């Protein structure tokens, strides 16, 4: 009977436990390129997103083509504001410690903390500080899909009571200080969970806020959910 908790080494082909970083037989690193090179992958993703945004912004004709279907949709669906509001389902907001699912992603926000500094134990890495404050969110994420999923910090945003939106930090020093604890780009196999943290740099005047969670990135996106944090 096949053991679902075991797999084979990519190099020597011998049986090893799923999720191990290195083969116990030959020492081959089992992690994907994205997992082994989080910082480089993150930089490439950010450059790609910036390039796409710049292309659309600099090409009036292309921007017009993108906007045209939206304008036509608005024209063809002249519903009153009251009717639209009546059709919208009431948005459910979850609390810290409450388990919920958005798309194929299971989420539990375990804790929320605020700080102004992350201290480094590495003499070559400076402490990370801010003029505002850091919101540190610890969460457990579960892959309910039938195939491996990549979890990205870009799926998470802080929304405050002024409708301001804050993305997770991609500070390289911060990533080094937190190490594997920081969920930046992580692969999760079907039925498996991973617990880690996300960090958001925000101004001091933020005092009421939510966490908005997307179901995934790319084709895995489509739904979202909110968690009341403070």
> Along the 230 residues of the chain, how does pLDDT read in single tens digits?
556 667 777 677 777 776 666 777 777 766 665 665 566 666 766 666 666 666 555 555 555 554 555 555 555 555 555 555 555 556 789 999 999 999 999 999 999 999 999 999 988 889 999 999 999 999 999 999 999 988 888 899 999 999 999 999 989 899 899 988 898 888 899 999 999 999 999 999 998 999 999 998 777 778 899 999 98
Q: Are residues 176 and 120 in the same domain?
A: yes
Q: Are residues 223 and 148 in the same domain?
A: yes
Residue 29 lies in a domain: no
Q: Are residues 206 and 111 in the same domain?
A: yes
At residue 25, the pLDDT reads 76
Cβ(26)–Cβ(9) under 8 Å?
yes
Residue 54 lies in a domain: yes
Residue 22 lies in a domain: no
Final residue of a structural domain among 26, 58, 87: 87
Cβ(211)–Cβ(93) under 8 Å?
no
Final residue of a structural domain among 70, 87, 104: 87
Q: Are residues 164 and 133 in the same domain?
A: yes
Count of structural domains, the chain: 2
Q: Are residues 180 and 67 in the same domain?
A: no
Q: Are residues 115 and 78 in the same domain?
A: no
Cβ(209)–Cβ(135) under 8 Å?
yes
- Residue 140 Cα to chain centre, angstroms: 12
Q: Are residues 105 and 203 in the same domain?
A: yes
Q: Are residues 181 and 150 in the same domain?
A: yes
Cβ(209)–Cβ(122) under 8 Å?
no
The DSSP secondary structure of the chain, one letter per residue, reads ---TTEEE-TTT--EEETT-SB-TTT--B-S-HHHHTHHHHHHHHHHHHHHHHHHHHH-HHHHHHHHHHHHHHHHH----HHHHHHHSPPPPEEETT-EEEETTEEEEEEEEEEEEEE--SSTTS--EEEEEEEEEEEEEEEE-SSS-EEEEGGGEEEEETT--EEEPP--HHHHHHHGGGB-SEEEE-TT-EEEEEEEEEE-TT--SEEEEEES-SGGG-S-EEEEE--
Nearest to 98 by CA among 229, 187, 9: 229
Residue 21 lies in a domain: no
At residue 23, the pLDDT reads 74
Residue 101 lies in a domain: yes
Cβ(199)–Cβ(62) under 8 Å?
no
Q: Are residues 47 and 161 in the same domain?
A: no
pTM: 0.62
At residue 31, the pLDDT reads 66
Residue 26 lies in a domain: no
Domain of 65, in residue numbers: 38-87
At residue 196, the pLDDT reads 92
Q: Are residues 83 and 97 in the same domain?
A: no
Q: Are residues 134 and 209 in the same domain?
A: yes
112: domain CATH number is 2.60.40.1240
């Amino acid at each position: 009977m096949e053991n679902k908790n075991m797999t084979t080494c990519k190099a020597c082909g011998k049986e090893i436990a799923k999720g191990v970083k290195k083969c116990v037989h030959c020492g081959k690193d089992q992690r994907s390129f994205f997992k082994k090179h989080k910082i480089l992958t993150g930089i490439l993703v950010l450059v790609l997103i910036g390039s796409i945004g710049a292309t659309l912004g600099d090409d009036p004709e292309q921007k017009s083509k993108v906007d045209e279907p939206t304008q036509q949709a608005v024209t063809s669906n002249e519903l009153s504001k009251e009717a639209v509001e009546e059709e919208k389902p009431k948005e459910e907001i979850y609390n810290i410690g409450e388990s919920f699912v958005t798309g194929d992603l299971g989420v539990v926000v375990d804790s929320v903390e605020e700080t102004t500094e992350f201290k480094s134990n590495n003499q070559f890495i400076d402490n990370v500080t801010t003029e505002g404050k850091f919101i540190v969110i610890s969460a457990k994420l579960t892959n309910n899909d039938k195939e491996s999923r990549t979890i990205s910090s870009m799926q998470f945003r802080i929304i405050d009571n002024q409708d301001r939106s804050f993305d997770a930090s991609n500070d390289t020093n911060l990533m080094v200080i937190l190490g594997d604890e920081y969920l930046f780009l992580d692969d999760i196999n079907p039925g498996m969970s991973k617990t880690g943290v996300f960090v958001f740099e925000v101004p001091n005047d933020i005092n009421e806020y939510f966490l908005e969670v997307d179901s995934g990135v790319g084709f895995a996106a489509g739904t979202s959910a909110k968690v009341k944090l403070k």
